[in-house]
Structure formats: C-alpha cells, structure tokens
Structure 1
C-alpha cells in the first residue's frame, strides 16, 4: 500500500496499539520506514529528564474478562482502547463489584469505548484495567469473572522518529505531532499525517530552512528529543516549532501563537488564514478555549467548559531553558468523538487534512521568501532619474484625479515611495511592510525587488524571532 495522502496514513496506523513505549508503537514506525526515509531515535528506559522517566517497553500479548465457562465477555480483540495502556500482568477471579475498580466507562457516551490514558503520563503507577462502553458493563451480571492480562515489560528503548527535507541552511523548523494514541484517528495521527505529507511536498522544492517532522509519544517524547539534541549540541539549530493536531474534523481552525507572539510563523499563518477565508480563531500560547460560548454564560448560569490550548506536544519547546518560539495549528476541540473509539477514519476528511496542509505550505512559502530590505544609499534618492526610473506620478495632481492613470488605481505607488523610504532603517521585513501599508505580500515583494534591481537595496535574511515582540 502506498501512502499517497493523509488518509492512507491514518487508515493504516490508527489501529496499531501505539502506546508511548510499546511493541505496537515500534511496529508502526518500522512499517512506516518501508514508505518514507525516516530516522529513529532511541531513549533508554529509566533515563530521567526533568522528572520525566523513560518507561520500559510494554508488550500486551492478550487480555480479557471471561465468565466461569471461559466465554469472553470483553477482550483486547474489540479495540486497542479495550485495555488500559501499560496495564500490569494479572490473573485472578473477581466479582463484578470488585472488577468495577478496574473498569473505565463514560456514562455520557454509553455506547463508546473511552480512552483511559493516565498511566501513559504516570509510568510509576502500577495498575491494570479495561475500558468498555458503559452500557456493556452495566449489562454484566453480578457474578464472578476470570481476569487474564498477559503483559510484560522489557528494557527496549522508547522511540521517536524524524522525517526531514534538507535546506541550504542547517537551521531547523521542527514540526511536531504525537504518534502515541492507540485507536485514535484525529487525535495525534491527523497532525502527524499532515506533517509527513508536508515534508513530502517540501522535498519537491528548493528552500533555505531545513524542515523536520518528528513523531513522538506525547510530552515525554518531546522532552526526550530536546535532551538528545542538547547532549549532541544540536538544540540551538531549532529556530521555530510548529505543533499540529486535531486537523481532520469539520470545525473552525485554532491558531495558537508563540509566547509574546514572537515567531514570524505566527504572523505568516495568521495572514494566510485571513486570506483563505477559512473560519478560525487566533489565540495566545496555550490559551484556554470555551468549547461552547453560546451555551455557557452568566445569564444561563452554566459555567464554561474549557479545553486546554494547543496540541500538547509544543509545550516543552517553549519551556525555560529552551524558549524556542512555538506555534500550534489545530481545529476546535473537544468534539463528541474525542478520546473514544468513535475517533476513527470515518470521522475525519481528506479535504480538511489537505486544507490544513495548504495553509501550512502557504505560510512556509512566505517564510522562505521574506527578507529585510537594507538601504545601500544615504539621503533621499532621486527616483525619477533615468538610471533608477522608479518614480510614479501621484493618482491626484493639483487636487484633481488624473484621467491618464497608468498604474493600478488601488495602489498609490507615489505615496508608497514617499513614505516607505523612512521605514528602511527600522529593519522591517517585506512582510511587515506589506502589513503596514495594507498590501498583499507578493505586491510589496515585487515592488521592493525593483529597488533591489536598481542597486538601492540589499537583502538581509529575517531572524525567526521578530524584531518587535509583544
């Protein structure tokens, strides 16, 4: 099977039991390696990083709840969510009342299998259990059941994987998504699929920056990768991070800007979204979002329900000691299918995934083309001189509109040339100047390239962190 698009990736890997350090996670990466030239990073169990501890590799061979005749009433074959991640081995007989302590259900969605993820972030907890639809557990007779969980732990490493498109520079824009949510199509895997196909697209282009996608176990994978780069001396090469998640369902997009809005990608993505006409919200770094503002209000007496901002994976990169400007792109969450077995490929759409990738690609195009114009002159150049010939007559002369206008009426290049000259010492980029003068980026870029051709300006590459930050 060729992974031609994002849906191919999602459909192939969502049912792998992709718990952070597990045989399912490792197997999915090994399979993906047959399709793309990824690199695998290994992290030894027991390694401690800022109080995160790399867990041992978890193997789940079989697991089930059986009645006294040996008939399974619930087992691993139902779905990857059917058994809690990192469950300890167990064999015993329990009554339903005792079993209840080891069964996770969600009465709000009684027909769905909920995702019990707690031990993925608390590896020191030693427990076991099952997730099942609430109505399934309620229907179980109040009698004795045999429980068998055949799991084991080994000292094999936790893994992340990277897939990159090399640029002229060793400076890296890192694109991060988690690969660790078993049985989930939109949560985690949609962002990873978009990131992988974005790299595929970039490989067909010439570009300055190196773009690198990384698939991680959520949070701990990002921390482990940063620790790896720190020890290898490569952490300083990371100039910006893009976190991706929840991109496959039908809802408005959410743009979470970097701390103090200091990443240029914040602005490039914002303008791209504005120009696309797509419904979106622009938010601060990890800003909480009211999931239903029409319902929750003081008037209705219903307290707001907030969803934590961003994708999760971007958090370590902005943390103290690294402070890498990090932007996140998602769609509005939570959705009714969130963290249940209903988050499956039928819930996501290739159109929505492709739309997200197109937005990202357009923003990256601006990043690659933006530059800071540096004046090569002192004083006021005579733009009408034949050697320069950049003078444009004003749209109005002697207070009257001209009848022989030979330029686009919407753009007064005379006014632009009169005032923009005083911005050159401010080290504003072409994009920032286009914003200031309310012009499309491509129009401003083409105009300043005329000045460059005439020898009036030279280019300076834009630093990833903006000159003026909030």
Structure 2
C-alpha cells in the first residue's frame, strides 16, 4: 500500500527543481505554484532597480543553456540535468579554454568530492558577475590538459523581486511573522523546506480563532527580507518574528535567540525547548549553526525581535546531495509542532488571580482537583483520576513529552498560595519546570470551579 503524499511533500516535489534565484521567470512561476497550495496568499514585488539602503533589486536571470565538454566531447556540466552545475547569475560565455582556465571558474570541494557545489556569490554582487561552473572534484582531479568547450547562454532582463506572504487574521492586527528563504535552485533543506514548514504552521491555524494574527513569509535570502522589513513589516503589524530553517534535516534542533535574548518569543521557545522529546540547543543571536534572515529584522532601524529555529549542521548543505530523499518527515513535523506549541502559549498565557477566600478542599466531590503525588505508587489507580482527566485534555502535539504527576502536587501548592496578578501561566510553568500545556489545562479546571480567574497576557506589550 503506497503512503499518502502530504500537502507539504507535494509542494516540495513540485518546487525544488525550479530555478529559484533572486529574480527569474522560474522563481516567479514557483511562487505561483506555492500560492495554489496554501491559503490566503499575497504576492509582494519590487521591480529591478528598487533600493533599500544599499540593497538593489537585480535584473532577472534567464538561462537558455550551459554545458562544458572535455577534449573528447564528454559533458562535464549540463544545466538541464543539474542547475548547480552553473553558478547563479553567470553571464554568457562561449569559448575554448585550457584546463587551468577552467579551474579558475570551477567550484568544487575535496571534502565532498562527488558533489556539485552551490555558487551564489554573483547574486550578492550582481554588478560584478563572473561566469562559473561546478564540476565535482573526483571528476576534475582526473581531467587531462587539452581544449575544453564552454557554452553558456544567459540573459538579463528587467524583472520583479517577489515574495509570498500567507496570513491568518486574528482579533488583533499585531502579527507574529514566520520567515523562510525560498531561493536556492535544486535544493530542498536549505530554504524551501523551512518555508513549507512555516506555511504548514499557518495553514494549520486555519478556521481557528486567535487573538494575534500570524503570517508566513517566503522570500529571497537576506535581500527579500530587507525589503519586507523596510517597507512592509510595520504596516502589516509585525511585532516579533522567527526564521524557520532546514526543518527536515537529519540534524539536531537549535533555537537561536533574538538580539535582546529575552523577547516574548525567546521566553516562549526556550520554555518549549525544555519539553519536547528530543534535545534542543539554545544559541545566542547569530551564533547558531546557520545564520539567516533574522538580521534583516532585528536591527536598531526595524526594531523587530527576530529569532530562528533550525536544524543543523547537516552534511548536504549547499550541494547537489540536498534532494527530497534526505528530507526527514518526522523531523519536519517535529519543528512544525514545536512552533505550534509556541503559538499556543502566545494565545493562552494568562495572569492568574485567586478567587477563593479559604484554602480550598481540592478533594471535595464538587471540586475534584486533588492530584495524588504518586498515584498507585508506580502507576494510575483507576480510570477516573484527576490526572487522567488532565491528560485527556492535552493537545496531541504533547505526545511523547514526559508528564509527571508529582509536579502537579507542587502546582497545587503554588495555586493555593497565589497572590493577585503575581504570576502568569508561563511563569509558573517555568518555575516548576512543567510543560505550559499541563499548567494551562489544570488552571482551566480551577477556573471552571471559580477558584481562580485568568486574564490573557499580551506578551508583545512587554
């Protein structure tokens, strides 16, 4: 029986081979395929020559063909077979050159001798373009002296630097933005898979009522984010942001903090990181395994705290080994669920206020809120325990997270000693080293019995 292809896997297979460079007809076509898959899309564009500081939108790069043949006519590079064989934004070149001259224009790696290497330099220096190719080292090292035929036909036209934003509108215009870079042709983990993870997060909020608004931006690495941060973010209500990278890589999770280290998203995601069923490292701003577009938002000029969540380092980065076959769907879903849990905290974190005048008898039949510290010594005594009621209310994204009954005993004590407006749900969860969801569910049960009141906390107002 064949396994059903998920929405994001379908998108991955449609998009990964596209010529997703800074500006091209193919990246524009890829964006339009993306918006046909996900809800509430908006295509934003800036024409060639547009400026944001010293960043300038380049011309569109179109490739007709690119080949390199050895003296015997054997093809060493064929753009139609692998886009990484040609350096992005290469100008046209036609000629017969020596092996030494070919070496000057070839990018390869002795560490990964069998792979073609992604060459992106021209895109960030489009005013000083140099043609280039990638012939794997294991092939190149065995080449003999002779005449090598290079045939590269490209052209540059006025175009539009595009990006796609999908938005879930909440009660407030205040928006938490997810970001990913959509470019990098013939690659999956670096860029595209992070974008798809972000779009899955927003899509899974569909039909849910939320207080905040949420958006996912698929854009061009650094350049697109600079234009969005400069011209779009404030008017679209963006308050904080998080970059999503390499979600399906076979590599450890890392959360990289905003430049302020204690923004709302930092408090939330560091908490979530402690309560997932795999290790998550915490890094300071720009000190994680991979630097990304967070720096376009988290500057003094824009003032938008921007964190990153990523998997890395991973072996396939910037090579032709980065194909759909190396994308781990469980790791992809793990990151998506982690972000959804963070959003859940944004939506539900509340200031707690006691409503009782005498120590409540939590075991009373009208309350039934008492949790045994160690039920049945090593297990649960029966099917109708309070602990089982709590577990029954927890979201399925908590699957695999250890929940200890003994900690609920400490939570009962904290709630009994609560002072007016002293703590939020998240702060108590942190103090007791418990998953936020567990504290949230149990305090909801106290609210139902009119023992406490919960007032939603707008964490972006801190």
TM-score range, shorter chain: 0.7 to 0.9
Q: Aligned residue for 2:198?
A: 195
State the alpha-carbon separation in 1 of the partners of residues 134 and 372 from structure 2: 71
TM-aligned CA distance change 1:190 to 1:456, over 3 Å: closer
2:305 counterpart (320, 325, 329): 325
TM-aligned CA distance change 1:416 to 1:429, over 3 Å: closer
CA apart distance, 1:390: 8.7
Are residue 315 (structure 1) and residue 318 (structure 2) matched? no
CA apart distance, 1:66: 3.4
Secondary structure in structure 1 of the residue aligned to 2:460: coil
State the alpha-carbon separation in 2 of the partners of residues 443 and 180 from structure 1: 39
Q: Aligned residue for 2:458?
A: 462
Secondary structure in structure 2 of the residue aligned to 1:367: helix
CA apart distance, 1:99: 2.0
1:339 counterpart (311, 318, 321): 318
Gaps of 5+ in 2: 374-384, 388-404
Q: Aligned residue for 2:243?
A: 243
Q: Aligned residue for 1:296?
A: none
State the alpha-carbon separation in 2 of the partners of residues 49 and 92 from structure 1: 38
State the alpha-carbon separation in 2 of the partners of residues 218 and 394 from structure 1: 50
State the alpha-carbon separation in 1 of the partners of residues 157 and 35 from structure 2: 23
CA apart distance, 1:391: 12
TM-aligned CA distance change 1:392 to 1:121, over 3 Å: same
Q: Aligned residue for 2:93?
A: 90
CA apart distance, 1:281: 0.7
State the alpha-carbon separation in 1 of the partners of residues 304 and 71 from structure 2: 57
Are residue 75 (structure 1) and residue 78 (structure 2) matched? yes
State the alpha-carbon separation in 2 of the partners of residues 31 and 413 from structure 1: 49
CA apart distance, 1:72: 3.8
TM-aligned CA distance change 1:338 to 1:412, over 3 Å: closer
Q: Aligned residue for 1:264?
A: 264
CA-based RMSD? 3.0
Contact 1:383–1:390 (CA<8 Å) still a contact in 2?
no
State the alpha-carbon separation in 2 of the partners of residues 111 and 391 from structure 1: 65
1:435 counterpart (430, 436, 439): 430
State the alpha-carbon separation in 1 of the partners of residues 327 and 203 from structure 2: 21
State the alpha-carbon separation in 1 of the partners of residues 83 and 179 from structure 2: 23
State the alpha-carbon separation in 2 of the partners of residues 350 and 443 from structure 1: 27
State the alpha-carbon separation in 1 of the partners of residues 261 and 217 from structure 2: 23
Alignment of 1:223-302 (within 5 A): 223-229=226-232, 234=235, 237-288=237-288
Q: Aligned residue for 1:399?
A: none
Moved more, 214-223 or 274-283: 274-283
CA apart distance, 1:137: 2.2
Alignment of 1:159-198 (within 5 A): 159-198=162-201
CA apart distance, 1:384: 5.8
Gaps of 5+ in 1: 289-306, 397-405
CA apart distance, 1:44: 1.6
TM-aligned CA distance change 1:200 to 1:148, over 3 Å: same
Q: Aligned residue for 1:15?
A: 17
Contact 2:240–2:304 (CA<8 Å) still a contact in 1?
yes
Q: Aligned residue for 2:159?
A: 156
**Equivalent residue pairs, number:** 423
1:357 counterpart (311, 318, 336): 336
Contact 2:411–2:432 (CA<8 Å) still a contact in 1?
no
Per the normalisation by structure 1, the TM-score is 0.81
CA apart distance, 1:407: 8.2
Contact 1:88–1:149 (CA<8 Å) still a contact in 2?
yes
State the alpha-carbon separation in 1 of the partners of residues 327 and 371 from structure 2: 53
Secondary structure in structure 1 of the residue aligned to 2:274: helix
CA apart distance, 1:160: 0.7
TM-aligned CA distance change 1:65 to 1:328, over 3 Å: same
State the alpha-carbon separation in 1 of the partners of residues 132 and 412 from structure 2: 72
